[in-house]
Structure 1
Amino acid sequence: MLDEQLIDPTTKHTTDPFPRQEQVPPGLTEAMAPLPDHGEQSYRGSGRLAGRRALITGGDSGIGRAVAIAFAREGARVAISYLPSEQSDAEETGDWIADAGSDPLLLPGDLRSEQHCMDLVEHTEQAFGGLDLLVLNAAHQRNRSGIDELRTGDFEDVMRINLFAPVFLARAAVPLMDAGSSIITTTSIQRSDPSSALVDAAMTKAALVAFTTALAEELGPRGIRVNAVAPGPIWTPLIPSNGWPDKLAGFGRDTPLGRAGQPAELAGAYVYLASDDASYVSGSVLPVTGGRGG
């Protein structure tokens, strides 16, 4: 007989329709209803990342916060990047990192800036004495009513945050990384099952898969692994700030598990890919989609 009762994944988190709500991008956690679960009360570490030094972009909230909490509880030192407008979220994430026994490094700024991307890597390396884990998680998306109404400035913002920044960050980080280090990108189910309303964001998520595969091939001989996590519908501040308040009631309900995922349900995927348990895993894409294809 099992010592612990099995948990039904279809009811592990809320299956209730999300209420109508809308935020100005990038959105804040405290304004969400219901609040997301980042593993604050549930994630238990076991030292799998002891001594590692990590930089997580978009680490203030959502998936990034869940990864930051998990990495810290697994023994890593954690730096997070975020927009200045997300300071309150970042400070809360910093408190959880500190609760795990590690001094957080909070690095506000705009990833659209090439210099800021370079500075993020430099500040992390100076504070921690090196960099072993780079999680390229930050992203931007907005609902698009049609290709003919996609403004050039909006398109450029998505490209710079979702594609340019990962290249700038990896370019700066790789020379500092030793064998055993790991780079993890956050792609999406949109990479292979794109929505017309997210045409530009979906483009970037497909491109990130190519980036991950190509970089894994380049860095493999140096002992640096590169992988991706592909989330499905996950309840983060990105969703109520996406510009589709009337669609939230059905968010995630079209998955085989019948509900949206919570950020905490992604953390284990990133920990696995960052850890020595995944020592023979590189160039892979790990879907966490509630059973939905892609």
Structure 2
Amino acid sequence: MNRKTILVTGASRGIGRATALQAGSLGWAVGVNYARDEAAAETVAAEIERAGGRALPVKADIAREEEVLELFETVAAALGPLDGAVVNAGIVAPAAPLVEMSAERMRRIFDVNVLGTYLCAREAARRLAQGRGGKGGSIVIVSSAAARTGAPFEYVDYAGAKGAADALTLGLAKELGPEGVRVNAVRPALIETGIHASGGRPDRAQVLGAGTPLGRAGRPEEVAEAIVWLLGDASSYVSGSFVELAGGR
């Protein structure tokens, strides 16, 4: 694989962290975006540097347009023109059926997981598109198996947001194909990350993972493998596609 410069949103933990570390192990330059945990982002950046890559931690709330613009500008200025972006950052709220969800909860879920995802994909498109002076490249959107299951009684708001991410993947792949940019998504489920604890069920991945055909939860590193493949040259004819990482669920 050629050395690349990529930006990973939500890279201080979970799938984003695993992706950033794996990219760094290939000698890539990685923009390590985080929203709150500066220490965790600094640790990821240090690990990337030790592995032979380059890294820059950058704080930004992806739901705020001005912060997204500054994020992309800062990474490009420090690490060079982008070859790819991983639109990963997302949140959940405590598990509940829709009838118990407040408008405030849903608004925050949609602000981050829909608006934030679209803003980051837009900025990646602006910088990668050959017609705008970019090199072409790859955008990988982190969706979820919830987009097809609906996540009933838990996170139907989150599931809806991921459905929007799926639509974005399909539409943007068609828009950007002529510009030398591939757009794909991964759909993980029941991966051992901290997002389950933020939803009130720290053991959710392990408990539900045992009921999948593979009989276990997934690991962030397994998702990162697929993401890095989609970013790399080996997937050069893959666009508008979804990689399911849900243990056969």
Q: TM-score range by the shorter chain?
A: over 0.9
Matching residue of 2:131? none
Between the aligned partners of 2:214 and 2:41, the Cα distance in structure 1 is: 31
| Aligned alpha-carbon RMSD (Å) | 1.5
- The sequence identity of aligned pairs, in percent, is 36
Deviation at 1:140, TM superposition (A): 0.6
The residue identity in structure 1 corresponding to 2:42 is: E
Deviation at 1:190, TM superposition (A): 0.5
Q: Distance in 1 between matches of 2:180 and 2:169?
A: 15
Structure 1 SS opposite 2:77: helix
Q: Does the CA contact (< 8 Å) of 2:206 and 2:216 recur in 1? A: no
Q: 1:247 to 1:282 in 2, by over 3 A?
A: closer
Looking at structure 1, the residues matched to 119 and 203 of structure 2 have their Cα atoms a distance apart, in angstroms, of: 36
**Contact kept? 1:184, 1:227, Cα under 8 Å:** yes
In 2: Cα distance, 1:280 partner to 1:162 partner: 28
Residue 276 in structure 1 maps to residue 233 in structure 2: yes
Letter in 2 for 1:77: A
> CA, structure 1 residues 223+179, in 2 after alignment: closer, same or farther (shift >3 Å)?
farther
Displacement of 1:87 in angstroms is: 1.8
Question: Is residue 179–residue 222 contact of structure 1 (8 Å, CA) maintained in 2?
Answer: no
| TM-score normalized with structure 1 length | 0.79
Aligned to 2:105: 154
Q: How many residues align?
A: 243
| Separation (CA, whole Å) in 2 of partners of 1:88 and 1:211 | 32
1:131 is matched with 82
5+ residue gaps, structure 2: 129-133
Q: CA deviation at 1:217?
A: 0.2
Letter in 2 for 1:227: N
| Secondary structure in 1 matching 2:33 | strand
Greater RCO between the two (CA within 8 Å, min separation 6)? Answer: 1
Hey, what does 2:65 align to over in structure 1?
114
Q: How does 1:1-294 map to 2 (within 5 A)?
A: 48-50=1-3, 52-84=4-36, 86-177=37-128, 178-196=134-152, 197-245=154-202, 247=204, 250-292=207-249
Task: Decide whether the 8 Å contact of 2:97 with 2:155 is kept in 1.
Answer: no
Q: Per residue, is there more helix in 1 or in 2?
A: 2
Preserved CA contact (<8 Å) 1:134 1:183? yes
Higher radius of gyration, 1 or 2: 1
Q: Secondary structure at the match of 2:155?
A: helix
TM-score, scaled to structure 2: 0.92
Separation in 1 of the partners of 2:248 and 2:124? 34
Code of the aligned partner of 2:161: T
Using a 3 Å threshold, how does the CA distance of structure 1 residues 245 and 273 change in structure 2: closer, same or farther? closer
Shift of 1:249: 5.7
Name structure 1 gaps, 5 residues minimum: 1-47
Measure how far apart 1:235 and its partner are.
Answer: 0.5
1:49, CA displacement in angstroms? Answer: 4.1
Q: Is the 8 A contact 1:55 1:135 kept in 2?
A: yes
- Measured in 1, the distance between the counterparts of 2:180 and 2:205 equals 43
**After the TM superposition, which of the residue ranges 137-146 and 274-283 deviates more from structure 2?**
137-146
- In 2 relative to 1, CA 246–267 (structure 1 residues): closer, same or farther, beyond 3 Å? closer
Taking structure 1 as reference, are residues 245 and 181 closer, same or farther at Cα in structure 2, changes over 3 Å only? closer
CA distance in 1, matches of 2:177, 2:85: 15
State the SS of the aligned residue for 1:134. strand
Distance 1:229 1:278 in 2: 13
Alpha-carbon deviations, 1:145-170, whole Å to 9, x = none? 23232111211111111111121122
